[in-house]
Amino acid sequence: MKKGEILEFDIESYAFEGKGICKLPIEDNDELAEAGKKFVVFVNGSYPGDRVKALIRRKKRSYAEATVEEVLVPSKDRTEAKCSYFGICGGCKQQDLKYEVQAKYKEEQVRDIFERLGGFENFEMEPIVEAENIFFYRNKMEFSFADKRWLTKEEIGSEKEILDSNFALGLHIPRIFNKVLDLNECFLQSEESNKIMNFTRKFFKSKNATIFSTKTHVGYLRHLVIKQASHTNDLMVNLVTSSQNEEWMEEYSSKLIEVVPSITTIVNNINLKKGKTAYGDFEINYFGDGYIYDLIGDYKFRISANSFFQTNTSQAANLYKIALDYADLKGDEVVYDLYSGAGTISIYVSKNCENVYSFETVDSSIEDAHSNNILNKIENVTHIQADLNKSFLSILDNKQIPKPDVILLDPPRAGMNPKTVKDLIALSPSKIVYVSCNPTTQARDIKLLAEAGYKLIKVRPVDMFPHTFHIETVALLVRE
């Protein structure tokens, strides 16, 4: 086997992230062969039951990596992808795999991470909560502008002149950061979202608007972010630019509302930074009040352009219910909520405990959290600004905050900062309920907590993002 060869493989099992596995006898290493080892080929884009032709991309001593060139015999678990961009776009990864099989593999992945990578035993692995809606489930889509459009194989092979190659609005190709696939439709959000995206492209192309370049740091357009409530009729359009252009934004807003009259607010975030993020240094409202409102359970939440809110609202309700069940609050506890965002979990659990103290870094999220207290007439939740990449124990002393009985936390994909882990150990709550969008970093953090005397009791995955490799998990730890 050599790099660059195209070979046939029968796919036996599944390594997450779309990599089917084929195991072959080891013939050139007696030591490994005697140990019963197999040579493993990870074939990207394949599923168990496939027979494929695959291109060898990388060859190592005990494994190789390959990419499917042709499916010779498809697995019974395959299905036809709904989206014409599937396989090129960086959004959906498993749209050609039956949904119930996607969910099964996600559950298996979480178990494997905790057992094999985390080294945990004797914990309860609860069944995955499957998504009710597998299309149009996102309440937020973040599209990118690029001055280089991704060209299809047909375009590259055609002798015709390639038009509009210097203007694109859509999603990035995986691992390609300077080119964007120009989309006409996406099945992750809604039809209104597609109309907004297509109008935005047409409008700014007609103005010959420039697109921000991360190399030159010049250009006007950066991102289009659409937030859509699931339980109200609220719909936000947030155009992220590198500078102000009042004339364009006024015209854009008035014409966009005519095309999509269901829009309730239009915001222009101005991002002055060089990095490619969809957050602004300041914002200007051109229509509406700059917020949308949505419901989780019995509670209503205000969502601003830059604040965090769970991206799948219906599954967020399931996620929070599991977190509350794991916390098993009796009514007299002091609860901390770390990485609290707009205060959604804090407010959701507030009627089941005595007091909640929520800790969050982002200013706009703290502002939304205070507003959400007022919206829901909550009096026992206190929102505190804290940098959770540093120790926050001094804040507790300064504000004379009592120690927690239970800690809830939902950190970003990178997991907790080691200083935060040390703070949790020092606070010594009787229970920790850890919500995560990355079970690998979650298992890493829980292993540190286990070394300090906490026992992992149970874990439950929640599928927030069908057709992707992402999975949310809730874990319960109890102090021994």
Q: Which residue has the higher pLDDT, 11 or 159?
A: 11
Say whether both 197 and 279 belong to one domain.
yes
Q: Give dist(CA 144, CA 192) in Å, integer.
A: 17
Say whether both 284 and 335 belong to one domain.
no
Q: Give dist(CA 188, CA 91) in Å, integer.
A: 9
Q: Which of 127, 50, 141 is nearest to 92 (CA)?
A: 141
What is the average pLDDT across 201-218?
94
Indicate the residue type of 287: F
Residue 31 pLDDT grade (very low, low, confident, very high; cuts 50, 70, 90): low
User: Do the beta carbons of residue 101 and residue 95 sit within 8 Å?
Assistant: no
Say whether both 284 and 332 belong to one domain.
no
16 in a structural domain: yes
Say whether both 282 and 155 belong to one domain.
yes
CATH of residue 58: 2.40.50.140
Across 333-358, b (16+ Cβ under 10 Å) vs e yields bbbbbbbbbbbbbbbbbbeebebbbb
Does 30 score more than 60 pLDDT?
Answer: no
User: Do the beta carbons of residue 145 and residue 221 sit within 8 Å?
Assistant: yes
The SS3 of residue 449 is helix
C-alpha distance from residue 434 to each of 188, 401, 440 (Å): 27, 21, 13
Q: Give dist(CA 315, CA 194) in Å, integer.
A: 23
- How many domains is the chain partitioned into structurally? 3
DSSP structural state of residue 90: S
Say whether both 54 and 13 belong to one domain.
yes
What is the structure's pLDDT at 34? 55
87 in a structural domain: no
Q: Which residues are catalytic?
A: 437
Residue 364 pLDDT grade (very low, low, confident, very high; cuts 50, 70, 90): confident
User: Do the beta carbons of residue 328 and residue 319 sit within 8 Å?
Assistant: no
User: Which residue spans within 229-340 are E strands per DSSP?
Assistant: 235-241, 265-270, 282-287, 291-296, 299-304, 334-338
Give the tokens for residue 248.
Answer: 């364009």
Mean pLDDT of the chain: 93
Does 174 score more than 70 pLDDT?
Answer: yes
Q: Give dist(CA 146, CA 301) in Å, integer.
A: 33
What is the average pLDDT across 384-410?
93
Q: Which one of 78, 93, 114 terminates a domain?
A: 78
Give the tokens for residue 90.
Answer: 């960086």
Residue 355 pLDDT grade (very low, low, confident, very high; cuts 50, 70, 90): very high
- Rounded to 5 degrees, φ, ψ at 130 are -75, 155
CATH of residue 157: 2.40.50.1070
Q: Which of 402, 435, 440 is nearest to 326 (CA)?
A: 435
User: Do the beta carbons of residue 373 and residue 343 sit within 8 Å?
Assistant: yes
What is the average pLDDT across 205-232?
94
Give the tokens for residue 161.
Answer: 């002149």
45 in a structural domain: yes
DSSP structural state of residue 173: P
298 in a structural domain: no
199 in a structural domain: yes
What is the average pLDDT across 331-343?
95
Say whether both 34 and 119 belong to one domain.
no
Q: Give dist(CA 18, CA 209) in Å, integer.
A: 38
Say whether both 275 and 367 belong to one domain.
no
**pTM across the whole model:** 0.89
Say whether both 351 and 449 belong to one domain.
yes
219 in a structural domain: yes
Give the tokens for residue 19.
Answer: 């990599």
Q: Which one of 258, 292, 326 terminates a domain?
A: 292
Residue 29 pLDDT grade (very low, low, confident, very high; cuts 50, 70, 90): low
Q: For 260-274, write each residue's pLDDT tens digit.
A: 999 999 999 999 998
Q: Which one of 292, 325, 340 terminates a domain?
A: 292
Does 471 score more than 70 pLDDT?
Answer: yes
What is the average pLDDT across 241-256?
97
CATH of residue 322: 3.40.50.150
Q: For 88-138, write each residue's pLDDT tens digit.
A: 887 898 999 999 999 999 999 999 999 998 999 999 999 999 999 999 999
Give the tokens for residue 2.
Answer: 């050599």
Say whether both 126 and 147 belong to one domain.
no
Does 82 score more than 60 pLDDT?
Answer: yes
Say whether both 471 and 326 belong to one domain.
yes
306 in a structural domain: no
State what percent of residues in the chain have pLDDT above 70.
97
**Residues whose CB falls within 8 Å of the CB of residue 441, separated by 6 or more in sequence, listed in order:** 411, 413, 414, 415, 416
C-alpha distance from residue 22 to each of 49, 54, 116, 160, 233 (Å): 10, 11, 20, 41, 49
User: Which residue spans within 229-315 are E strands per DSSP?
Assistant: 235-241, 265-270, 282-287, 291-296, 299-304
91 in a structural domain: no
**Residues whose CB falls within 8 Å of the CB of residue 118, separated by 6 or more in sequence, listed in order:** 443, 444, 446, 447
What is the structure's pLDDT at 32? 53
Does 238 score more than 70 pLDDT?
Answer: yes
Q: What sign for the dihedral angle of Cα 80, 82, 85, 87?
A: negative
State what percent of residues in the chain have pLDDT above 90.
81
CA atoms within 13 A on the CB side of 249: 23
Q: Which domain holds residue 171?
A: 140-292
What is the structure's pLDDT at 258? 97
Give the N- to C-terminal CA distance of the chain in Å, as an integer: 52
What is the structure's pLDDT at 127? 98
- Looking at mean pLDDT, say which of 159-173, 389-403, 447-461 comes out highest: 447-461
Say whether both 418 and 445 belong to one domain.
yes
Say whether both 410 and 467 belong to one domain.
yes
